[in-house]
Amino acid sequence: MKRIAILGSTGSIGTNALEVIKSHPDEFRVTALSGYSNVRLLDRQVRAFRPQLVSSGDDPAALRRICTDRRVDHVLIAISGAAALDPLLWAIDAGKEISLANKESLVMAGPLVMARAESRGVKIIPIDSEQSAIWQCLDKQDRKAVKRIYLTASGGPFRGMPPARMRDISVPDALKHPRWKMGTKITIDSATLMNKGLEVIEAMHLFGVPCARIKIIVHPESVIHSMVEFIDGSVMAQLSATDMRIPIQYALSYPVRIPSSLSSVDFVKTGALHFEEPDMDAFPCLGLALRAARTGGTMPAVMNAANDAAVEAFCGRRIAFVEIPVVIRRVMEAHRVKARPDLDDIRGADAWARKKASQTLGKAKTWIC
Ligand code: NDP
Ligand code: MG
């Protein structure tokens, strides 16, 4: 019986994780839950799962207690955004087994997080479907035998849209993802393709592979969740239905597989699988993320914070969809990179970028909205 803490239990990943746990009462037990603003849902979850520890709102002490409590074996981190970084570090320091959905924490501080996990002998098991696919393909393989990683992308709701029409994209348009149902921030990131850029950085750190050996490939059917090519020319892929409960269950049950009643891929119904290059001109966020990945140091944290601010401004109808990359680029261009940052440098860069983004948003008189 694995005793599990779910941080961010009121979100999309959190509620899916609770469904997985509910359907496997002999394998998993919920010992801790954390929410943030959705107190009603958290209250319902507490009554249904009866955890021993609960936290809500902005309460770092309670979150830290959950991450370090001896009644917790496994910490599932499904908090969105930069707020997940501290809990991730607390869980690592406490030597817990970790499953990680949050990608922003690795984008901000990947080298520090991975070094700390390695020094404590802590496993970070990915939940993000692409990273879970790569993790499964790499299982028991020699990392030196990896030639290339193919990170698949659905292409989002605006694949193939002429750039001129993108000026009119509304928030509800951007929230209609063709394949996945997710939280607001990641859904907008999927529409700009920033999500794929964040995932490149996430994969670099999780698997110790340089940016140049990660190839993004658009695969609209989203049946292949990513692939690994080895030096002998063999390619391994992981396929499944587009249901986050599949990678969540594997992260919780790892290293074994347990049965699930979730749907299988209907290959005949799916028919052909398609692949294409991403359109870097139509989706400039992708290029900005790759630039941050190659630059390294404090730049990924700055890019991530600027993106957060720009997405928030778009959702608040203060800027247009096509202006999201404009804000990110201006903040990145103003940043003086620190090549080997410590945690304070990263927190400082994050705070600087949020302030710079807010000044940029406040100053410009030319925003379309
Ligand atoms: P949601 O927005 O649906 O949920 C976010 C969760 O974090 C909620 O429980 C929310 O609480 C909580 N939260 C928000 N802000 C804070 C804060 N400052 N402190 C503590 N808790 C907070 O997001 P998703 O579930 O979609 O995504 C979570 C993470 O997983 C993201 O990093 C995302 O990139 C990643 N991910 C998500 C996927 C998906 O399919 N959804 C796929 C792959 C990765 P409340 O709602 O109570 O305010
Ligand atoms: Mg993903």
Please give the share of the chain, as a percent, with pLDDT higher than 90.
95
Please indicate whether residue 104, judged by its CB atom, sits closer than 6 Å to ligand 1.
yes
Does the pLDDT of residue 365 top 80, yes or no?
A: no
The angle formed by the CA atoms of residues 354, 358 and 363, to the nearest 5 degrees, is: 150
Could you tell me the maximum CA-CA distance found in the chain, to the nearest angstrom?
A: 59
Please indicate whether residue 87, judged by its CB atom, sits closer than 6 Å to ligand 1.
no
pLDDT in tens, 108-119: 999 999 999 999
Residue 71 tokens read as 């009644």
**Strands in the chain per DSSP E:** 2-7, 28-34, 53-55, 74-77, 97-100, 124-126, 146-153, 214-218, 224-230, 235-239
CB 79 within 8 A of CB 90: no
Residue 182's DSSP bridge partners are none
Does residue 111 belong to any structural domain of this protein?
A: no
Does residue 319 belong to any structural domain of this protein?
A: no
Domain count, the chain: 1
Mean pLDDT computed over 66-78: 98
pLDDT in tens, 186-206: 999 999 999 999 999 999 999
79, 194, 195, 202: which to mutate for ligand 1, most atoms within 8 A of CB? 79
State the distance from the centre of ligand 1 to the C-alpha of 3, rounded, in angstroms.
Answer: 21
Does residue 295 belong to any structural domain of this protein?
A: no
CB atoms within 10 A of CB 46: 16
Does residue 302 belong to any structural domain of this protein?
A: no
Ligand nearest to the CA of 244: 1
Does the pLDDT of residue 363 top 80, yes or no?
A: no
pLDDT in the model for residue 367: 66
The angle formed by the CA atoms of residues 361, 293 and 298, to the nearest 5 degrees, is: 65
Does residue 201 belong to any structural domain of this protein?
A: yes
Q: How confident is the model at residue 178 (pLDDT cuts 50, 70, 90)?
A: confident
Where do we find the tokens 């746990």?
A: 21
Does residue 10 belong to any structural domain of this protein?
A: no
The rounded distance, in Å, linking the Cα atoms of 333 and 269 is 47
Does residue 99 belong to any structural domain of this protein?
A: no
Q: Which residue type sits at 8?
A: G
Mean pLDDT computed over 157-176: 95
Q: Which residue type sits at 173?
A: D
State the distance from the centre of ligand 2 to the C-alpha of 52, rounded, in angstroms.
Answer: 31
Please indicate whether residue 102, judged by its CB atom, sits closer than 6 Å to ligand 1.
yes
6, 7, 12: which to mutate for ligand 1, most atoms within 8 A of CB? 12
Does residue 50 belong to any structural domain of this protein?
A: no
Exposure class string for 79-104: b at 16+ Cβ within 10 A, else e: bbbbbbbbbbbbbbebebbbbbbbbb
For 213, the domain range is 129-286
pLDDT in the model for residue 177: 81
Computed over every residue of the chain, the mean pLDDT equals: 96
**Torsion over CA: 282, 284, 286, 291 (sign):** positive
